[in-house]
Amino acid sequence: MFEEFTATDRWTKKPVHCVYQALIVAIATRHADAVDVKFLVDGRTVWVALPHPAWMEYKKRTGKAITDSLAVEIAGHYLKVALDAGEGLDRDMYSLTVEETLAHLQAAVTAGTQAQIRA
């Protein structure tokens, strides 16, 4: 659902096409305890950094794991919300907290469930 989507920039009202491109464990690239999710936003590279401790916290709370595909959904949901709210169309990197990650996880799962119900 959030692997490819269109957001609308709040300030310009311009549609922005977003496409998931890659998921990278950030310790390997920038020595950060995060998982970086790469999107192309109208052809420009934008990263959404999800903190690795969110994986452990989610497991502790639910007994379930955050999969790669769920990580993409979390990051995509966050990016759509941020762009729709006018939060930095010119930004290259967004970094979430553990709680933000878990909130967007829940919102992405809820959006996916609602989409399945409508289908």
Domain boundaries, the chain: 4-113
- Mean pLDDT across the chain: 91
Instruction: Report how far residue 109's alpha carbon sits from residue 106's, in angstroms, rounded to the nearest whole number.
Output: 5
pTM for this model (two decimals)? 0.90
Is the CB of residue 50 less than 8 Å from the CB of residue 2? no
The predicted structure's pLDDT at residue 115: 63
Q: Band of the pLDDT at 28, cuts 50, 70, 90? A: low
pLDDT for residue 99 is more than 80: yes
Least confident residue range of 11-15, 62-66, 104-108: 11-15
- Give the pLDDT confidence of 65-96 residue by residue, as tens digits: 999 999 999 999 999 999 999 887 788 999 99
